[in-house]
Amino acid sequence: MKKKKQLTPEQQLQESLIQLKNYRPLDDDFMRELFRNNWALAELVLRIITGIKDLTLIQQETQYDLKRLVGAKSICLDVFGKDNQQKLYDLEIQRADEGAVPERARYHSSAMDIEFLSEGQKFTELPTTYIIFITENDIFGAGKPVYHIRRMVTDFQNRPFADRSYILYVNGAYVGDDDIGKLMHDFRCTNADDMNFELMAQATRYYKNTPEGVSYMCKVMEERIKENVDLAHIEMALEMLADGTIPIEKIARFSHLSLEEVQQLADEQNSKN
């Protein structure tokens, strides 16, 4: 396997600056930072997408981990919000079509239910939830700005099944003069000066054009690169462990993990088998 050339710190900085210049709110790494502690921007986006004009958040977090999925597939929400009516919102960026399959939306919806209904509560106390996927492409192909998914009683007048669970797919490719069209235009923009909504432009301008914002974003990108490298090392070790014939010392050497880390991965694999 050909080893990737190691970049100097200066070269890595230049690559990060180029990547930052090309970032759009539609890129999830950048989007999370735009929304971090930016309640006004989150309210603006959620109001436009849901049509709830008086939506007021009382809680908003980025990279929100659902804690009750012990032993199940974990989820980290891009942007989580709760409004003053106790409605819950999960706002996700899904650039790849395969990341927005119906089963994923179903899982996010069910995971939110598990997270926010405690032992002893009645099922009627489940909160109203909105799972919102902003997709880069029009995955349904009908040209609509937003696709609303709800359960229906199909055998009786197609009545809505009133479970207060809503799934919305927002077409990131939509072009129009309405607010959703202007918002999707902003999500596709790399330049703050070309944006329609000042709240989105202000956040973008801070992270792209101020020394503090640029420095912060470069650190975020450095950390993400390290995370990706660490993940690649772990995946390599897991593949070699699955072979079953490679000594653990050799796995550690080739994967750049410690013997203790490889042994832990081996123990976790054995416990699953």
- pLDDT means per 10 residues in the chain (273 residues)? 58 81 92 94 97 96 90 90 97 90 96 95 97 96 96 89 96 96 98 97 96 91 72 81 83 82 79 65
Q: Within this chain, do residues 155 and 194 fall inside the same structural domain, yes or no?
A: yes
Q: How far apart are CA 163 and CA 150, in angstroms?
A: 9
- Domain membership of residue 231 as a residue range: 223-272
pLDDT single digits (tens) 106-144: 999 999 999 999 999 999 999 999 999 999 999 999 999
Structural domain contains residue 26: yes
Q: How far apart are CA 87 and CA 22, in angstroms?
A: 34
Instruction: State how far Cα 15 lies from the chain centre.
Output: 23
H or E, element range at 133: strand 129-135
Q: Within this chain, do residues 266 and 154 fall inside the same structural domain, yes or no?
A: no
Structural domain contains residue 115: yes
Q: What is the pLDDT of residue 206?
A: 96
Q: What is the pLDDT of residue 273?
A: 61
Q: Within this chain, do residues 198 and 252 fall inside the same structural domain, yes or no?
A: no
Q: Within this chain, do residues 167 and 259 fall inside the same structural domain, yes or no?
A: no
0.75 surpassed by pTM: yes
Q: Within this chain, do residues 157 and 232 fall inside the same structural domain, yes or no?
A: no
Q: Within this chain, do residues 179 and 244 fall inside the same structural domain, yes or no?
A: no
